[in-house]
Structure 1
Amino acid sequence: MACSAPLTNHHDDGTLCPADHKHTSSGRPLHPDCPGRAYTQAICSCGGWEMKESGKGYVNESRNRHFASHTQGPKVLRDLLRVDGS
């Protein structure tokens, strides 16, 4: 099962900032009707991870690390499945 954790941007009041509202890297709005991006959030569909931070890049990097942990599986399972070459 492939998980997903879409990035969503939010205004200070918690409302969703639409995808067509472009921002500078610091979150300042480039769209005339946007008050600015206060935070970015991602919630994984696996139910085991979520993040809410002001830095969009940091949330994206953390999300990618989380996805990588899905492919590695739990350490206990990896250890059980490891083939000993000796």
Structure 2
Amino acid sequence: MAFRAPLTNHHTDGTLCPPEHKHTSSGKPLHPGCPDRAYTQAVCSCGQWQMQQPGKGYVNESRRRHLATHRIPAGPLLRDVLPFNMR
């Protein structure tokens, strides 16, 4: 199962800040109807992790680190499980 933790931006009042509301790197709105981007949130579909912070980059980096913990390690190579005379 592939886990997901999408990033969502939110206004100060808690409402969703849609993707078409562009912002500067500091979070100031470039869209005329956007009051601000107060925080960015990521919630993992595993149900065990979520993060909400004002810094979008920090949330994204933490999200990537968390999703990496869900990766299934590769099993042994075929050459490691076959008898020597079958290689």
**Structure-2-length-normalised TM-score:** 0.81
- Structure with higher helix content: 1
Match of 1:65 in 2: 65
Runs of 4+ in 1 over 6 A off after TM superposition: none
AA aligned to 1:3 is F
Match of 2:19 in 1: 19
* Unaligned segments of structure 2, at least 5 residues: 74-87
Give the Å deviation of 1:36.
1.0
Q: Which has the larger radius of gyration?
A: 2
Report the secondary structure of 1:63's partner residue.
helix
Separation of aligned partners in 2, 1:3 and 1:72: 11
**Structure-1-length-normalised TM-score:** 0.82
* Unaligned segments of structure 1, at least 5 residues: 74-86
Residue 4 (structure 1) aligned with residue 8 (structure 2) = no
Q: Deviations over 1:6-59 (max 9, x none)?
A: 100000000000110000011100000000100000000000110000000000
Report the secondary structure of 1:70's partner residue.
coil
Instruction: Give me the CA root mean square deviation.
Output: 1.1
Alignment of 1:38-49 (within 5 A): 38-49=38-49
Q: Deviations over 1:41-86 (max 9, x none)?
A: 000000011000000000000000001111167xxxxxxxxxxxxx
